[in-house]
């Protein structure tokens, strides 16, 4: 606001300056939200982590109170400036930053002023899961609380947030496709489109996918010989046509029925102890070869390998 006030006049109607203002206000608003919501989320998780079976009612209420109600665009001066400058850019160069006021085709086609309040932490998802826990008791409630903790703050060394750079420790890089007119990467990163009917945890919103018939490969070492494992996989879309193998075995079948969660699908696979060789395991996913089209069938958001005791 100070920057705009100091340069009112000629700069105020300059579209290049307006773009700087837009980015500045937008970033400041998102960073303010991120700091506040991250602190609330850490407090809520700490409450849930220390709760006892006999005190879950109080723990759920305290965690919901800790998450609280956060700033929305309609009540933030920073965000009001975002919308004002979005209007200025529409009038100066017809930049379409909203679907409603500027007739942009869709939010995911550049209308980012409409997505300024998109979730940037797991607070909305935690609130949704705690609301479900409130109306349950006993084992069902404990399962929901454990799911929240394991999803938001996993402690397992065999967990991969596959779509998040730096958290893909078991993913094997693929060489580029050299048989193309232009050498192209076989693995790409993507984002799950927003679904207003289902809130997702942040780790499920990004994924790695493959192109040009490339497989997705993950390698594990130092596993316990003689023990079986369960591999839980979050796919960014349906996994029905994928072939999944363990150490180049015959295709694996899901261990239990797949669960659809908005655009994502959760599938679990049983990895028999006979597949573990010298503590090592290679998991491979393959979409149908020669599928054609955009070829974006194989998309993995997160995985966790859990030992069967």
- pLDDT tens, N- to C-terminus, the chain (309 residues): 555 555 555 566 899 999 999 999 999 999 999 999 999 999 999 999 999 888 899 999 999 999 987 777 778 899 999 999 999 999 999 999 999 999 999 887 889 999 898 889 999 999 999 999 999 988 899 999 999 998 988 888 999 999 999 899 999 988 776 666 555 678 888 888 765 567 899 999 999 998 888 899 999 999 999 999 999 999 998 888 899 999 999 899 887 766 777 788 899 999 999 999 999 999 999 998 887 656 688 999 999 999 998
What is the token pair recorded at 126?
């935690």
Q: Which residues of 257-292 are buried (b: 16+ CB within 10 A; e: fewer)?
A: eeeeeebbbbbbbbbeeebbeeeebbbbbbbeeeee
- C-alpha 46/C-alpha 64 separation (Å) is 12
Residue carrying the six token digits 């975002």:
82
Give the residues across from 230 on adjacent strands.
270, 306
- Are the C-beta atoms of residues 36 and 78 closer than 8 Å to each other? no
Q: What are residue 308's phi and psi, to 5 degrees?
A: -100, 110
Give the residues across from 300 on adjacent strands.
208, 235
> For the whole model, what pTM was predicted?
0.84
Number of Cβ within a 10 Å radius of residue 256: 11
What residues contact 183, with CB distance under 8 A and at least 6 apart? 176, 177
The confidence score (pLDDT) of residue 228 equals 94
Q: Which of 13, 66, 59 lies closest to 37, judged by CA? A: 66
The confidence score (pLDDT) of residue 10 equals 57
- Are the C-beta atoms of residues 209 and 163 closer than 8 Å to each other? no
Q: What are residue 95's phi and psi, to 5 degrees?
A: -75, 125
């Amino acid at each position: 606001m100070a920057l705009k006030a100091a340069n009112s006049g000629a700069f105020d109607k300059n579209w290049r300056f307006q773009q700087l203002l837009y980015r500045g206000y937008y970033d400041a608003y998102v960073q303010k939200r991120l700091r506040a919501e991250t602190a609330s989320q850490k407090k809520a998780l700490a409450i849930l982590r220390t709760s006892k079976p006999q005190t879950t009612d109080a723990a759920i209420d305290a965690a919901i109170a800790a998450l609280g109600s956060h700033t929305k665009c309609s009540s933030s001066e920073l965000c009001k400036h975002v919308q004002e400058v979005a209007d200025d850019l529409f009038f100066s160069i017809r930049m379409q930053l909203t679907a409603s006021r500027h007739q942009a085709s869709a939010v995911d086609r550049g209308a980012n002023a409409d997505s300024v309040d998109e979730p940037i932490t797991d607070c909305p998802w935690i609130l949704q899961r705690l609301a479900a826990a409130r109306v349950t008791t006993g084992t069902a409630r404990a399962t929901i609380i454990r799911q929240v903790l394991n999803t938001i703050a996993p402690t397992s060394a065999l967990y991969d947030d596959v779509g998040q750079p730096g958290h893909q420790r078991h993913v094997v890089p693929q060489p580029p496709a050299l048989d193309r007119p232009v050498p192209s990467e076989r693995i790409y990163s993507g984002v799950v489109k927003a679904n207003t009917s289902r809130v997702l945890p942040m780790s499920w919103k990004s994924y790695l996918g493959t192109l040009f018939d490339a497989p997705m490969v993950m390698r594990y070492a130092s596993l316990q010989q003689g023990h079986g494992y369960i591999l839980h996989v979050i796919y960014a879309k349906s996994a029905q046509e994928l072939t999944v193998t363990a150490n180049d075995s015959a295709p694996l079948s899901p261990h239990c029925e797949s669960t659809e969660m908005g655009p994502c699908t959760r599938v679990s696979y049983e990895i028999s102890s006979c597949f573990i060789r010298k503590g090592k395991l290679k998991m491979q996913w393959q979409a149908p070869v020669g599928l054609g089209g955009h070829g974006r069938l194989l998309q993995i958001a997160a995985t966790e390998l859990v030992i069967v005791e």
